[in-house]
Amino acid sequence: MKNIGIGLAGFGTVGAGVYENLERHRDLIAERSGYVFDVRRIVVRNPQKTRDVVAPAALFSNRWQDLLEDSEIKVVVELMGGTSEAYDLTVAAIKSGRIVVTGNKALLAERGAEIFAMACEHKVPVFFEAAVAGGIPIIQSLRDAFVGNRIESVHGILNGTSNYILTRMQEAGLDYPEALAEAVKLGYAEADPTLDINGWDAGHKAIILAALAYGFWVDPATIRVEGIDRVSAADIHFAKSLGYCIKLLGSIRENSGMVEVGVAPTLIPLGNVLASVNGVFNAVAVRGDLVGDSLFYGRGAGRGPTSTSVIGDLVEAAHGLNAARQTYGFASHSLYGSSRPASEIVGSYYLRLSVDDKPGVLARIAGVLGEAGIGISSVVQPESIAGVETPLVLMIHEATYGAMCAAIAKISALNCVKGEPLLFNVEALS
Ligand code: HSE
């Protein structure tokens, strides 16, 4: 057995899970991999805090620099989150020649190009299985198992918290704040759940998947990312009556030589397999030109699943110590052109309005859409239900997102339209 010294930055849900499970499965991991992982230092903001996972007090420190001052630490595990100190630690670790294992999706989505350029320069790999979809091995699958495929599309339910909330709203009739409080209590949401709710946790993950599928880092400022905060019980009900359920879906695809990435509440057919992905579960559907359709399913958040991915990366890192490599966790290339700005992406939509119950209203709305060259594929005027008076639902078959936004601005200004129109995507996933 070979001992590998590791340094842990962060001891929250994931960091504590890594420590606990390295201890619990020490023998199993050693027998299977040939390595014993020795946590030599744990960096946290407050070393004195009482924690539910107990580790020797002497391991704790509040200086990340300590990880780099111990020459026996060969792998730095960055699970502190955020993009400031985590960036400084990651860069310093790479420059010091240490392998980095990270679960930090925001950091990679925002600065992945720079971090991997540095990793190549210093010939130090960075592994990040825990950054996307908790315990599902989607990073290794896209990067290694599907290396021989052109990836046509990746669709994913990528945020466990949002999926948990939508499921609880749908199945138990909970309202949004109650469902969110449950997700926080269960340790699914981030310490600050803002990014779970506003869609950016899934947005960061979609950018990472797109990078692996297409070889470059899409600029977060150019993509459309919306969270589930405007999904209401009424919309879940209307969608169901049309044969759909609502999921927060990450959509990544190559289309006519350009890469399209976005995250939004999306109506998907009830019969599609992704419609039955509920609770904290995530799923990623990958379509490759050789492999066809593949589906990855598993828990997207929580201590056990996410530490599973970190421990897998630790073994990968240990194999990589002192071994010559051609790539360093992500290989950039320019075989897929560039990314298409959100406003130019063509999609199908669910547009829900609240309107005056008077003759001529539909004609005025259809007139605005018609002038913009946007065709309506169906119109439904469901019964009013709690929270939405005189609803009007329009299904739009094909329009650019930019054209939809411009038309919605005009529709909002009509005096027969009340409140803010709601626009969700529709994906046939065929
Ligand atoms: N807060 C995240 C989620 C955890 O709910 O999916 C995993 O990134």
Residue with the nearest Cα to atom 1 of ligand 1? 189
Residues 273 and 293 in one domain: yes
In a domain, 326, yes or no: no
Residues 165 and 294 in one domain: yes
% residues pLDDT > 70 (the chain): 100
Q: Residue 248's domain is classified under what CATH number? A: 3.30.360.10
Q: What is the mean pLDDT of residues 11-37?
A: 97
Q: How many domains does the chain have?
A: 3
Ligand 1 pocket mutation, candidates 79, 139, 161, 204, criterion most atoms within 8 A of CB: 161
Q: What is the pLDDT of residue 148?
A: 98
The ligand 1 atom nearest the CA atom of 205 = 8
Show Cβ contacts of residue 376 under 8 Å, excluding neighbours closer than 6 positions. Answer: 366, 369, 394, 395, 396, 397
Residues 198 and 92 in one domain: no
Six token digits for residue 271: 């019969």
Q: Residue 355's domain is classified under what CATH number? A: 3.30.70.260
The residue annotated as part of the active site, out of 2, 205, 240, 418, is: 205
Residues 363 and 268 in one domain: no
Q: What domain range is 373 assigned to?
A: 345-426
Give, as one character, the DSSP assignment of residue 131: G
Ligand 1 pocket mutation, candidates 107, 186, 196, criterion most atoms within 8 A of CB: 196
Question: Does pLDDT of 322 surpass 80?
Answer: no
Give the pocket of ligand 1 (CB within 6 Å).
Answer: 134, 159-161, 188-190, 196, 201, 300-301
- Identify the domain boundary among 287, 321, 355: 321
In a domain, 312, yes or no: yes
Q: Where are the beta strands (DSSP E) in 270-345?
A: 281-288, 292-299
Residues 31 and 113 in one domain: yes
Residues 260 and 367 in one domain: no
Q: Is 205 a catalytic residue?
A: yes
CA distance 164 to 179: 8
In a domain, 227, yes or no: yes
% residues pLDDT > 90 (the chain): 88
CA distance 105 to 86: 11
Q: Residue 159 class from Cβ within 10 Å (0-12 exposed, 13-18 middle, 19+ buried)?
A: buried
- In the reported structure, the alpha carbon of residue 191 is separated from the centroid of ligand 1 by a whole-number distance in angstroms of 10
Residues 32 and 60 in one domain: yes
In the block, tokens 């199908």 appear at 348
Reported residue count of the chain is 430
Six token digits for residue 45: 């903001």
13-27, 175-189, 251-265, 312-326: the lowest-pLDDT one: 175-189
Residues 362 and 404 in one domain: yes
- In the reported structure, the alpha carbon of residue 218 is separated from the centroid of ligand 1 by a whole-number distance in angstroms of 21
In a domain, 148, yes or no: yes
In a domain, 60, yes or no: yes
Alpha carbon distances (Å) from 370 to 294, 315, 374, 392, 394: 39, 58, 5, 17, 13
Q: What are phi and psi of 14, to 5 degrees?
A: -80, -45
The ligand 1 atom nearest the CA atom of 300 = 6
Which H or E run contains 391?
strand 391-400
Instruction: Give per-residue pLDDT as tens, 338-350.
Output: 999 999 999 999 9
Residues 196 and 231 in one domain: yes
In a domain, 329, yes or no: no
In the block, tokens 């309202």 appear at 175
Residues 268 and 370 in one domain: no
In a domain, 88, yes or no: yes
Residues 159 and 289 in one domain: yes
Residues 160 and 127 in one domain: no
Beta-bridge partners for 274: none
- Answering whether pTM is above 0.85, one says yes
CA distance 425 to 239: 11
In a domain, 50, yes or no: yes
Residues 280/132, Cβ–Cβ less than 8 Å: no
In the block, tokens 């609803």 appear at 391
Instruction: Give per-residue pLDDT as tens, 212-230.
Output: 999 999 999 999 999 999 9
Q: Can you spell out the DSSP letters for 396-423?
A: EEEEEHHHHHHHHHHHHTSTTEEEEEEE
Q: Can you spell out the DSSP letters for 36-102?
A: EEEEEEEE-S-TTS--SS---GGGEES-THHHHH-TTEEEEEE---SSSHHHHHHHHHHHTT-EEEE
- In the reported structure, the alpha carbon of residue 197 is separated from the centroid of ligand 1 by a whole-number distance in angstroms of 10
Residues 176/233, Cβ–Cβ less than 8 Å: no
